Amino acid sequence: MSAADLHVPVLLDTCMDLLAPALSESSLFIDATLGMGGHTEAALTRFPHIQAVGIDRDPAAIALASERLAPFRDRFTAEHVEYDSMDEVVAKHGKPMGILMDLGVSSLQLDDASRGFAYAQDAPLDMRMDTSQVQTAQELISTSSHGELARIISVYGEERFAGKIASKIMNHPDRHNLTTSQLADLVKEAIPAAARRTGGNPAKRTFQALRIAVNDEMVILERAIPMAMDCLEVGGRLVVESYHSLEDRIVKKAMQAGSTSSTPLDLPVDIDKPPFKLLTPKAIQADDKERLANPRSASVRVRACEKLSEGRRS
């Protein structure tokens, strides 16, 4: 099965419309989360004069996306790096006019049971986006104290029963060899029945938390958003799709900081024009039609900004 069959990009037209004013002529586009190449394929098709660079930490994603994008081989280059190394990519390829980030776990990773991201099928607890890194989710569980495990589940999963879940995990007789389905069962046992009646699978937040911790996602994102804004050419645009509140808060904070003047309110003249313009005062969400067609769009939040000047860093 091809990458195009495996993955339907979320809010594809919305993202392309936001990028369009910056990519109308010959310019560079960076897809900072290449995945299976759906967004890059759309950009290369819609904007026939651009060059594109796709960044991903997952070698399997790069291989699939490169196959999908073979018809554009003279306009597309893939780079196996994390997106907080975008400055290195820009030093090599030049400043972009458009940058897209589609955050979180990809369809490729979710749908491959052996990667250990999902609880629907039993598999080892891996959860590494970059399979060349050392620490897996199982190793994280095996080496963490109760307090550290509870903190990870509470902070990154926003799970109110984090302490009980951590206790269930720590007390399991075979904690060092848990599988995805065993972990999901432990989480279910730890959460009171009344709290399990709404909100989908009760293991969702715990799996999210472990995935974020294993891949250091929030720390990387906090570095990557200001770096992406700094890397843009003047007139360029950054579009970011996030899927939970932790990601969205980081994106919102960085974009608001870059688009807010620091001139005191009592001064009649703006002495510090912000270097960015916020294109999405409120995050864009999927409508009912999109959610029905693509269930993974249910939680998406899209934010975008435009670079007006080099100015101060965001």
Residue ranges of the alpha helices (H) in the chain?
A: 3-6, 12-19, 38-46, 59-68, 86-93, 107-111, 137-143, 146-157, 162-170, 180-190, 204-215, 217-231, 245-258, 288-293
| Same-domain pairing of 221 and 210 | no
Q: Give the model's pLDDT for residue 108.
A: 60
119 is in an annotated binding site: no
Q: Give the model's pLDDT for residue 3.
A: 47
Single out the residue in 215, 245, 271 at which a domain terminates.
Answer: 215
38 is in an annotated binding site: yes
Distances (CA, A) of 244 to 105, 147, 158, 212: 11, 24, 10, 11
Q: Give the model's pLDDT for residue 269.
A: 58
Query: How many separate domains does the chain show?
Result: 2
Residue 122 resides in a domain: no
| Same-domain pairing of 209 and 232 | no
Residues 304 and 73: their CA atoms lie apart, in Å, by 28
- Residues facing 101 on adjacent strands: 240
244 is in an annotated binding site: no
**pLDDT single digits (tens) 71-97:** 999 999 999 999 999 999 999 999 999
| Same-domain pairing of 228 and 94 | yes
**pLDDT single digits (tens) 257-278:** 999 976 665 566 556 689 999 9
Q: Give the model's pLDDT for residue 294.
A: 86
Q: Give the model's pLDDT for residue 261.
A: 75
Q: Which of the residues in the chain have pLDDT under 70?
A: 1-7, 106-114, 262-272, 312-314
- Domain of residue 34 covers 3-108+217-307
Q: Give the model's pLDDT for residue 106.
A: 65
CATH code, 9: 3.40.50.150
The pTM (predicted TM-score) of the whole model is 0.88
39 is in an annotated binding site: yes
| Same-domain pairing of 225 and 282 | yes
| Same-domain pairing of 223 and 176 | no
| Same-domain pairing of 146 and 205 | yes
Q: Give the model's pLDDT for residue 17.
A: 97
109 is in an annotated binding site: yes
| Same-domain pairing of 7 and 90 | yes
Q: Give the model's pLDDT for residue 130.
A: 82
